[in-house]
Chain A
């Protein structure tokens, strides 16, 4: 059975040219870039090149790029650095819809006596900027807001927020794991001090991340060890992955337009057709301020895990914000923060496309979804009463 992979916000395939760029650095050019000999030196040169490719995608300078092991490490490094730099400040501003990499860290820090403001979001998943400004205090050490939400794709106005933080002398970090490579990012024209992203969301392998640290921003390392990354992150470089990430960033820069034309068009087609064909369905998240590759659709009166497992029968991969799939007993914290009603939250499915998604895959999915939802609704005790109410009107 062919796999129809519509779960690219979870992870992506390594692009063929990325894999090709990496392969020689496993067994052929395996030198340590820190070594004095030219066998290691040639790897160091290649890493420099990768750093330039990453910087180019972000509109940054190469020495502002710190390679890490993943997005979570970058998030942790950024927030902990700010707290170390400003030991007298005990307040962090973040949002209710952050990824666990930030959310759980903040919960942990709350246990250590830090005060955390988790900003609420509106029904469409957007921030209330007035409330944001009101949350900033002289005691605030750092603001950490995601650029785009992993579940809904909703984009926060982080550039505006970063300016407001800078005016008040507060460090600003953004978790840009979902937005990097999907929407234009230019660090030269914004006031963001630190930015995190991860390789495996843009066709590089898992296990490689980036922390952007603006020149002049004081930084205290998270991993203390050797002099690698100019003392900002100890540990021997993951050379094949760094080289792969460089290649992936170049690919992303080339395809940024594709994301916002071809991918967006396919996403819109999937979304509008499903909404037209399936009654009692709705999109979670703002329609304008949203990543071009993501749609989060709720199908009322059915439960997400069942939908996913029936989709799985056809090889279609996606995610759900239902309780049964979240590993807890409550639906996703993002949908709850947006006030999505329970009848809708449990039946939410996130489709996330990539530049490798094809029109046939979208058509195939459009064909399979209506009978899947109908089948589960046929078993749902709630759907019967809704259907009866509709026919009796």
Chain B
């Protein structure tokens, strides 16, 4: 038995706004009977261009019906700009949460809303350039990308819970993994400060002078910055360091660590051939 919140149960047993709006301004149908759930959403705007009426018809499980009911309640009174910002997470949150395996019900609601708005605006019903990744459930790369992005998904299993993609024959698991990696890479916060090579050299030289040379000189050694190529910092060792057998350990464990800390986390120290 699924663990549903009282709110989900309540919206399943007493769904709001079941039916179809007469002469709707926007209408959309998503999902399919093969997939096990489908939702037909229709809405009508008032004179201020706010959603006056929203109705649904849903084929699906309790959480699909509850999600549809919640969606219609959420968007009533909103402008289309406001409605467009409603996410699947908002639908799930309205219901006090959904089981992980049922998150795709909230995603279906979001998709129907988006398509109904597009339908009103006269936009194409299908996303241009979208490619089907999961053939069992007809899920496109765009849909997977968006679910990964909006819900910070990290595993194929999570993608299946949210979009159903990969829940059938499993042939598309590799493709889904690649999409996850691609989107995660895009999402990675940019921690590396963007700077010119000159700025980088300056910062490295300053760090060497202030934090590194004093320690090396203490042992009778020294270091000289030769060049910076991308993230490669090319240096030459001087004095005692030049003849020290363990100087490369010092370079890696001390100099590189310091420079990564002070200048940029992607730096790699390389020593020029003597």
Contacts and interface: CB of A to CB of B under 8 A. Distances in A.
A333 to B, nearest CB: 12
Interface string B64-96: 110000000000000000000000000000000
A381 B62 contact: no
Residue of B15, B20, B37, B59 with most partner-chain A CB within 10 A: B59
B36 A381 contact: no
Interface stretch (B44-52, B160-168, B216-224): B160-168
A379 interface: yes
A310 B15 CA distance: 13
Contact of B15 (A301, A309, A342, A379): A379
Contacts of B115: none
B29 interface: yes
Given A309-B12, A329-B167, A329-B168, A322 B61 contact: yes
Given A309-B12, A346-B36, A381 B160 contact: no
Contacts of A379: 15, 18, 56-59, 65
Interface string A368-393: 00000000001111101000000000
Given A329-B160, A381-B29, 12 more contacts: A303-B36, A305-B61, A324-B60, A324-B61, A329-B36, A329-B167, A330-B36, A342-B36, A379-B65, A381-B39, A381-B58, A381-B59
Interface in B135-173: 136-137, 160, 164, 167-168
9 contacts: A303-B36, A309-B9, A322-B61, A324-B61, A329-B160, A379-B56, A379-B57, A381-B29, A381-B57
B164 A346 contact: no
A382 B59 contact: yes
B61 A303 contact: yes
Contacts of B35: 329
Contacts of B2: 305, 324
Given A313-B13, A331-B36, A306 B60 contact: yes
A302 interface: yes
Contact of B36 (A310, A323, A378): A323
A261 interface: no
Contacts of B37: 303, 324
B65 A306 contact: yes
A343 interface: yes
Interface in A287-318: 301-306, 309-310, 313
A384 B57 contact: yes
Contacts of A384: 20, 57
B61 A342 contact: no
Size class of B's contact patch?
20 to 34
Contacts of A382: 33, 38, 59
Nearest to A378: B18
Interface residues on A, range: 20 to 34
B110 interface: no
Contacts of B167: 328-330
A381 B40 contact: yes
B185 interface: no
Contacts of B164: 329
A373 to B, nearest CB: 13
A304 B13 CA distance: 15
Lowest 7 CB-CB distances: which A-B pairs, in order? A329-B167, A324-B61, A305-B61, A381-B57, A381-B40, A323-B36, A342-B34
Contacts of B60: 303, 306, 324
Contacts of A303: 36-37, 59-61, 64
A386 B164 CA distance: 27
Contacts of A309: 9, 12, 62
A305 B99 CA distance: 14
B68 to A, nearest CB: 8
Given A330-B167, A342-B33, A381-B40, A306 B12 contact: yes
Contacts of B29: 381
Nearest to B57: A381
Interface in B1-16: 2, 9, 12-13, 15
Contacts of A302: 59
Contacts of B40: 381
Contacts of B38: 381-382
Interface in B210-230: none
A330 B13 CA distance: 24
Contacts of A324: 2, 36-37, 60-61
Contacts of B36: 303, 322-324, 329-331, 342, 346
A301 B59 contact: yes
Given A303-B59, A324-B61, A380-B59, A343 B15 contact: no
Contacts of A327: 101
Max chain B C-beta neighbours (<10 A), residue from A322, A331, A346: A346
Contacts of B168: 329-330
Contacts of A343: 33
A306 B33 contact: no
Nearest to A377: B59
Nearest to A305: B61
A137 to B, nearest CB: 28
Nearest to B102: A324
A40 B274 CA distance: 86
Nearest to B169: A330
B33 A301 contact: yes
Nearest to A302: B59
A384 B59 CA distance: 11
Contacts of B34: 342
B69 to A, nearest CB: 9
Contacts of A328: 167
Nearest to A330: B168
A294 B60 CA distance: 25
Contacts of B136: 330
